[in-house]
Amino acid sequence: MTDGIAKARTGISGFDELTLGGLPAGRPTLVCGSAGCGKTLFATTFLINGARDEDEPGIFVTFEERPVDIVANVRSLGFAMGDLIERKKILIEHVAIDPAELAEVGDYDLEALFLRLELAVDEIGAKRIVFDTIESLFSAFQNPAILRAEIRRLFDWCKEKGLTAVITGERGDGALTRQGLEEYVSDCVILLDHRVHNQVSTRRLRIVKYRGTAHGTNEYPFLIGEDGFSVLPVSSLGLGHKVYDERISSGIADLDAMLAGGGFHRGSSILLSGVAGSGKSSISASFAAATCAAGERALYFSFEESAQQTVRNMRSIGLDLQPHIDAGLLHTVASRPTFYSLEMHLALMLREVQRVRPALVVLDPISAFIDSGEQLEVQAMLLRMIDHLKSEGITGVFTHLAHSQGEAKTDAGLSSLMDAWILLLNRETNGEFNRELYLLKARGIAHSNQVREFVMSDRGIRLVPPYLGANGALTGSARRFEEARERREEQARMAEAAQRRELVAQRRRRTEAQIEALRADLAADEMELHSLSEQEADHIRQAEADRAAMASGRGAATGTRDDR
């Protein structure tokens, strides 16, 4: 039970979310539109998904196509309707009405049809029913009073039986249907539209009314493809997305190093803008390759080159994407911007995102859509894409071709919506073009404000630290010439310093030799002085001995004389 009324899920991607649960259960729904807009497919998808996924058998009442044709038509979209018929989950009732064989008299009505359908309902226990199309059923009625009465009776009969009914109808002149009554007695009215603008066709769906419940009221693009009928309720996106502190690598180590903590936030929107040939696609491919190298899936939308051309071109910078494609990690989608309308491009991209469930999505380039519609239409389409990626926590990388050098804006006016902006420049100096990279902004991350020279080679992408010369930052051959000159000057200074060191060493050796000679002379003088000192000491000792001897001799002589 949703919003006070029971709802029957259709199983149509996006539509059940748009209607908050599906179609009104046990009530009639009118699906109207011009020829070729997808009414029968919508009704068939509703019936098949109910029988297959919701255990609600259904009856397909056709007034135009044969049962075998209906089964063949839906088989091309991957629906095994024949198997459901064999299992008594679906019953096809082909009611052929030829107005030429009928005569409308008095109380002519559809009583016989109701009896036939009641038997079919009882046979399989039907919960759902499809009438395709109502114009064929009422083509025999010429009396407007009887026609209106039988239309009301048909809708009331569906309600009495508790059948969730889908009734298809052709678009009328100035009204939703040809009879102009079905839309008023239906509880839910869905308008399908197939329009062509600038030779580009677009299918759109609008819920005109839905009694008893809230629902989306805008026009929504829908797809009819190999995956069946799908609707994308893109307008329900908002700003309630989750944010991440986790970082992802750009695949370029020098670029990651320009951000504090290394890398960009997961789930952020990253804009690469620059003139032609500045390296936008190469950086976006590096993002995708780094994501795949981490074991996550990446989805690459290319609007100017084929997938094979992108793979070949990236090999020239040492980046081989083919192994990631073969491993099922990198999914590529290439299409011209003018091939579909803006709404259809958006629907296709969102469907691929839902199918692949990537961690990173690349749109290369978004400027290709500028010629596909008005600026506000392009901005609205890309805004919805950005919001959807953020709501899913998917990192988005968007490239944009700038028309002038260093242009700090985009034609689509989306720069303010981006979390990070990498500006790529091509500068002509000394007869050559040199690439430069400037990290214009990175919300929530401290980052370098330096302009880096952007160098691509077969060894990959490098960001060369800036060289600041006397006349400003130098790049390319001017930087290499200046660096070579500085190296020569440095080598000359080193040679001069080595020569000076050798001269000092020679003087040190001469001085040390002289010091050694002086030390030897000093030692010789000291030895000579010591010898003289010794000799002088010996002389003094001898003199003292001689005096002592003389003194002793005189004393002996005096004593002798006294004795006499």
pLDDT tens by residue, the chain, 564 residues: 445 689 999 988 778 888 888 999 999 998 988 887 888 889 999 999 999 988 999 999 998 788 888 888 888 777 888 889 999 999 999 887 655 544 444 445 677 888 888 999 999 999 999 998 777 776 666 676 777 777 788 888 889 999 999 998 887 665 566 555 566 678 899 999 887 766 666 778 888 889 888 777 778 878 776 666 777 655 445 556 778 889 999 999 999 999 998 999 999 999 999 888 888 999 999 999 999 999 999 999 998 889 899 999 999 999 999 999 999 999 999 988 777 777 778 878 888 898 899 999 999 888 888 766 667 777 877 888 888 888 889 999 999 988 666 555 555 567 778 899 999 988 776 667 788 888 989 998 999 888 888 888 888 898 887 666 655 566 566 666 766 777 788 888 888 898 899 999 999 999 999 999 998 989 888 898 888 888 888 888 888 888 888 888 776 665 655 555
Asked if residues 41 and 77 have their Cβ atoms less than 8 Å apart, the reply is yes
Find where tokens 């020829």 sit: 35
Query: Which parts of 11-78 fold into alpha helices (H)?
Result: 15-18, 39-53, 67-75
- pLDDT for 349 equals 87
Closest C-alpha among 277, 499, 492 to residue 405: 277
CATH code that applies to domain 7-236: 3.40.50.300
**Contact residues for 459 (Cβ-Cβ < 8 A; gap 6+):** 318
Taking each helix axis from N to C end, the angle separating 280-293 and 307-315, rounded to the nearest 10 degrees, works out to 90
Q: Which of 4, 91, 5, 107 is nearest to 51 (CA)?
A: 91
Q: CATH 3.40.50.300 in the chain, residues?
A: 7-236, 247-465
- CATH tag, 247-465: 3.40.50.300
Expressed in angstroms, the distance from the first to the final Cα of the chain is 170
**What is the reported pLDDT for 321?**
94
The phi and psi torsions of 362 (rounded to 5 degrees) equal -115, 130
- Catalytic residue numbers read 64, 304
Question: Would you call 160 helix, strand, or coil by DSSP?
Answer: helix
- Are 186 and 28 a contacting pair, CB within 8 Å? yes
Q: What is the pTM of this model?
A: 0.63
pLDDT at 56: 93
User: Element (H or E) spanning 228, and its range?
Assistant: strand 228-231
* pLDDT tens, residue by residue, 58-71: 999 998 788 888 88
pLDDT at 125: 93
Express each pLDDT in 429-440 by its tens digit: 666 778 888 898
d(CA 266, CA 445): 12
What does the pLDDT read at residue 293? 94
Phi, psi at residue 43, to the nearest 5°?
-65, -40
Taking the C-alpha atoms of residue 202 and residue 342, their distance in angstroms, rounded to an integer, is: 9
